């Protein structure tokens, strides 16, 4: 009975009307927006991947990004991570308009991403992957010759993997020999090691078992408590309701709904994802 | 650098020893100090260029132009020394010219996105032609003594050019195992896309790798010029095949990811021993070409079987997972 009432209330309050990128949170001040992307368009040749998609990520929240296969979720995050250039639209970080031309630049803005395909080098080992692009060198010898500080990197990588409940017997073996879940753990460790302000997670638990999945969800909440703002793509609604504060629904390249998950029914969200309205 | 590498290197070492035993049974002249020294001296040039080629192949590339770069930088240093420059200046300019030509390759590959084979095959032709045009196909004789010493001199019992080759090997090993650049180049060989996403400067890494390969070719040019006391436009002809064979035999794969300078050293020594042994047991030199060609194809085939299969498996797994 209560459920029906809540549903009725939400419906009558107009929250399910597609907002086409302009939603209520907008007027509540831009300062608490860590990331704002507006009117993002992206075409792959003839194919339209994103059409005036918008997203707002608030300080210290977990924003769930949901939608059907091929809706454009990954493309949106990859634009923010600097993998693809956008065809049009604006990106603001903490209210300041930025251009992101490369993953390097995105990283320097404090943005880290766990890619859907995990983006690991199969023939490199776990710590080489985790530290790829920003290796530690020996502090003493740094000025003379930049010799890699392998021991410290291996130790720290092993430790952060342990925190996820992954105990690698061979930290020096190529990651291609690891299981899918272990590989995903490596990718997740890589994104959180440098305490980024913004973390983009593209289906981070897709190939994990139950126990590992719980650990990853715990870690996401930990990272949020430590002050990171997080966008997480997921197809698992249970997982979404477990960790996300708000959700953004993307359909056929457009952002069609955004709002808090509190008091929301999973079925309604699912309907929105697949039908486009509740 | 895992256990598999060690295993493969042990295999190569065993092969080298077996070959040595076989040749010394077939000929009493093989296992003498003089001849072993000879093998090392003969192998210095292939070793030096093969170390450069190891870096290139580790990025999934190839450098077909090292023979031409060797010739042109050899001519360049001979010409400058003939025209009054000192030995040190001549050598520096020679190595610099090799590096510049390598950078040229790297720029074509990284910035224009043309395949390494096509770019370096093209520049191989261009550089060789330039060498022939510049010298009018005539050799340059008569280097200064201070320069010739590099080819004939010894430090104690060890010839200087063996020391030079060893320095190059140690340098290559250090780069691959202990530096950022070394790990970056292996990552680029594994997947350029992943390396790019992780902020590795992919283009700069590729350009540097080809520049180093050019520099190695120029160092080999010093050895050739100093030993023969001659610089000529046809120097280093076909050296790239030997280098590629040594690298692939040594366990650095055409499919990227792994790079082993020690393996390359063993590969080059195997080829050198094979050539030397075949000469000593009086096999005519055209048969030697045949044997080297066969060894080359076998090494590439083994690479295809061992790593190519793995690559295909990885691809199908990824396709099935819909990635
Ligand atoms: N590199 C690319 N080249 C061409 N088309 C692409 C490329 N990347 C994505 N697309 C297309 O853009 C659209 C959006 O893809 P995207 O990967 O963003 O979807 P998604 O919402 O992440 O889907 P999924 O849930 O399956 O991961 C799809 O139709 C896809 O085919
Ligand atoms: Mg996706």
CB distance B225 to B231 below 8 Å: yes
Whether A121 sits inside 8 A of B195 (CB atoms) is yes
**Out of A124, A148, A173, closest to residue B186 by CB:** A124
pLDDT of residue A143: 57
Segments making up each domain of chain B, as ranges: 3-310
pLDDT of residue A2: 36
**B194 pLDDT higher than 90:** yes
DSSP string for residues in B67-104: HHHHHHHHHHHHHHHHTT--HHHHHHHHHHHHHHHHHH
Query: What are the start and end residues of each CATH 3.40.50.300 domain in chain A?
Result: 31-110+196-204+224-277
DSSP string for residues in A23-80: -GGGGG-STTEEEEEEEEEEEETTEEEEEEEEEEEETT-EEEEEESTTSSHHHHHHHH
Average pLDDT of every residue of chain A? 83
| Residue A7 distance to chain B (closest CA, Å) | 36
Backbone angles phi, psi at A259, to 5 degrees: 180, 170
Using the mean position of ligand 2's atoms as its centre, give its distance from the Cα of residue A151 in Å. 35
Instruction: Please give the helix or strand (H or E) that residue A242 lies within, else none.
Output: helix A237-243
The residue of chain A nearest to residue B310, with distances taken between CA atoms, is A176
In this structure, the number of other CB atoms found within 10 A of the CB of residue B226 comes to 27
The separation between CA A42 and the C-alpha centre of its own chain, rounded to angstroms, equals: 19
Burial B19-32 (b: 16+ CB within 10 A, else e): bbeebbeebeebee
Whether A172 sits inside 8 A of B2 (CB atoms) is yes
Residue A72: CB within 6 Å of ligand 1?
Answer: yes
Most confident of A33-47, A216-230, B203-217, B259-273: B203-217
What architecture does CATH give domain B3-310?
Orthogonal Bundle (1.10)
ipTM: 0.85
- Segment B253-258 shows an average pLDDT of 79
- Answer whether A193 touches B (CB < 8 Å): no
pLDDT of residue A54: 93
pLDDT of residue A262: 86
Q: Which CATH number fits domain A31-110+196-204+224-277: 3.40.50.300, 3.90.1150.10, 3.40.50.12780, 3.40.50.2300?
A: 3.40.50.300
**A20 pLDDT higher than 80:** no
Which residue from A65, A75, A80 has its CB within 8 A of the most atoms of ligand 1, so it is best to mutate? Answer: A75
Residue from A101, A108, A110, A124 whose CB has the most chain B CBs within 10 Å, to mutate: A124
Q: Of the candidates B66, B33, B3, which has an alpha carbon nearest to the alpha carbon of residue B246? A: B66
pLDDT of residue A17: 36
Chain B residues whose C-beta is within 8 A of a chain A C-beta are 1-2, 178-180, 183-184, 186-187, 190-191, 193-201, 256-258, 310, 314, 318, 321, 323
**Out of A116, A123, A173, closest to residue B257 by CB:** A123
**Out of B179, B199, B256, closest to residue A148 by CB:** B179
Flag the least confident range among A17-26, A90-99, B141-150, B288-297. Answer: A17-26
% of chain B at pLDDT higher than 90? 67
CB distance A180 to A118 below 8 Å: no
**B320 pLDDT higher than 90:** no
- How far apart CA B10 and CA A191 sit, in angstroms, is 38
Q: Of the candidates A245, A215, A247, which has an alpha carbon nearest to the alpha carbon of residue A234? A: A247
Q: Of the candidates A159, A78, A71, which has an alpha carbon nearest to the alpha carbon of residue A111? A: A78
Token couple for A141: 């010898």
> Which residue has the CA at smallest separation from atom 10 of ligand 1?
A49
pLDDT of residue A202: 94
Residue A255: CB within 6 Å of ligand 1?
Answer: no
């Amino acid at each position: 009975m209560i459920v029906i009432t809540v549903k009725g209330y939400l419906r009558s309050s107009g929250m399910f009307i597609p907002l086409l990128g302009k939603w209520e949170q907008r007027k509540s001040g831009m300062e608490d927006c860590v990331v704002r992307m507006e009117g993002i368009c992206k075409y792959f040749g003839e194919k339209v991947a994103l059409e005036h998609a918008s997203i707002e990520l608030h300080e210290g929240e977990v924003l769930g990004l949901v939608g059907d296969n091929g809706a454009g979720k990954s493309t949106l995050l990859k634009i923010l991570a600097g993998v693809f250039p956008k065809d049009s639209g604006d990106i603001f970080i903490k209210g300041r308009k930025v251009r992101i031309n490369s993953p390097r630049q995105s990283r320097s803005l404090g943005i880290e991403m766990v890619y859907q395909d995990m983006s690991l080098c199969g023939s490199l080992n776990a710590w080489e992957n985790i530290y790829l692009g920003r290796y530690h060198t020996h502090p003493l010898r740094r000025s003379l010759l930049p010799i890699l500080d392998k021991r410290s990197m291996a130790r720290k990588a092993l430790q952060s993997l342990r925190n996820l409940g992954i105990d690698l017997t061979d930290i020096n073996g190529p990651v291609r020999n690891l299981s899918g879940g272990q590989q995903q753990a490596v990718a997740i460790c890589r994104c959180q090691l440098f305490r980024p302000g913004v973390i983009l997670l593209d289906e981070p638990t897709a190939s994990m078992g139950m126990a590992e999945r719980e650990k990853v969800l715990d870690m996401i909440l930990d990272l949020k408590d430590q002050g990171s703002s997080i966008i997480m793509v997921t197809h698992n609604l249970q997982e979404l309701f477990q960790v996300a504060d708000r959700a953004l629904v993307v359909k056929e390249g457009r952002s069609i709904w955004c709002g808090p998950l509190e008091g929301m029914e999973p079925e309604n969200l699912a309907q929105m994802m697949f039908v486009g309205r509740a | 650098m895992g256990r598999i590498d060690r295993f493969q290197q042990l295999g190569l070492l065993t092969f080298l020893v077996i070959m040595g035993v076989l040749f010394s049974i077939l000929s009493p002249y093989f296992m003498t100090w003089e001849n072993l020294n000879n093998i090392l001296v003969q192998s210095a040039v292939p070793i030096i260029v093969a170390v450069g080629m190891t870096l290139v192949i580790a990025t999934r590339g190839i450098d077909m132009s090292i023979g031409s770069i060797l010739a042109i930088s050899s001519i360049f240093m001979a010409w400058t020394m003939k025209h009054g420059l000192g030995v040190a200046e001549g050598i520096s300019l020679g190595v610099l010219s090799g590096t510049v030509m390598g950078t040229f390759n790297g720029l074509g590959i990284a910035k224009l996105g043309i395949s390494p084979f096509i770019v370096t095959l093209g520049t191989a032709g261009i550089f060789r032609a330039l060498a022939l045009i510049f010298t009018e196909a005539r050799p340059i004789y008569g280097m200064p003594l201070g320069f010739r010493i590099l080819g004939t001199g010894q430090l104690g019992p060890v010839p200087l050019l063996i020391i030079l080759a060893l320095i190059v090997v140690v340098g290559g090993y250090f780069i691959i195992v202990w530096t950022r650049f070394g790990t970056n180049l292996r990552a680029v060989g594994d997947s350029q896309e992943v390396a790019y996403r992780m902020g590795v400067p992919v283009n700069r890494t590729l350009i540097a790798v080809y520049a180093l390969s050019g520099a190695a070719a120029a160092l080999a040019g010093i050895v050739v010029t100093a030993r023969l006391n001659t610089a000529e436009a046809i120097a280093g002809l076909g050296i790239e095949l030997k280098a590629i064979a040594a690298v692939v035999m040594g366990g650095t794969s055409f499919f990227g990811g792994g790079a082993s300078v020690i393996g390359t050293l063993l590969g080059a020594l195997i080829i050198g021993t094979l050539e030397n042994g075949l000469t000593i047991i009086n096999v005519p030199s055209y048969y030697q070409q045949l044997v080297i060609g066969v060894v080359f194809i076998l090494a590439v085939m083994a690479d295809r079987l061992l790593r190519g299969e793995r690559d295909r498996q990885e691809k199908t797994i990824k396709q099935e997972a819909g990635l």
